Amino acid sequence: MATHPYISGAGNVAQMVTQLRKSFPSTISSETVKKLGLAPNNESYVIGVLQFVGVIDSEGKRTPEAAKAFSHHKDEDFAEKFGALVQKAYSSLFELHGNDAWNLDSDELITFFRQSDQTSAIIGGRQAATFKVLAGLSGHGDIPEPKSKKVAKAVAAPKAAKAVAAKKAQPPAQSPPHPAAGTHQNHNEGTGFGLTVRVEINLPADGTKETYDNIFKSIKENLLGG
């Protein structure tokens, strides 16, 4: 059984500690962590880490030592007091490595935790990651940056903008051209087809000029409406 705490997302511990520096409830439980939206489905592991380093007691109340540490506003002052809590909680690690324990790499920490607790490689890795986060809060190393919740929206926004731009770029629908003035079209709107009439005129070979004039005059009056 593991005696040293672990969690799959060690960065959630840093977020919880940062939140407690802003506002420390009178009692902290898994429900408190859940309401803060931290460590979904891992709230009890956050509580376990806080209890192990002496931030809260078994009832979720702030310990006197934690009250002194979390009352400091300056990061360096808080880190010094919080580091004392961590060093006391991990006394066996510091007894073995002294102050060098703060700077041990992941492999060295995993070796220590696996040998101490007889844990698997996965659990040992999570124990090492948890300690490194606590060391960062104590001023020894970096603190993981919280993940942004707006990444998905930021990625989706350019796609929506491209879709709008593509829609605007489409040419407007063009209406069919109106028939030119003077052109006669005979069509049925219900069926959508047109009708063209061709008139063929046979002129007599022995006709006189007067005969031809009379024929064209008749065509103009009866067919062309002239």
Residue pLDDT tens, the chain, 226 long: 789 999 999 999 999 999 999 999 999 999 999 999 999 999 999 999 999 999 999 999 999 999 999 999 999 999 999 999 999 999 999 999 999 999 999 999 999 999 999 999 999 999 999 999 999 999 999 887 765 544 444 445 555 555 555 565 565 555 555 554 444 445 455 555 566 666 666 666 666 777 767 777 777 777 666 5
Sign of CA dihedral 176, 182, 188, 189: positive
CB 211: neighbour CB atoms within 10 A? Answer: 11
Residues with Cβ within 8 Å of residue 203, at least 6 apart in sequence:
212, 215
How far apart CA 140 and CA 137 sit, in angstroms, is 7
Q: Tell me which amino acid residue 48 is.
A: G
Task: Please state whether 186 falls in left (phi above 0), alpha (psi between -120 and 50) or beta.
Answer: beta
pLDDT of residue 221: 73
The pTM of this model reads: 0.65
List helix spans (H) across the chain.
11-22, 30-35, 43-52, 64-70, 75-89, 91-97, 106-117, 121-137, 151-169, 209-222
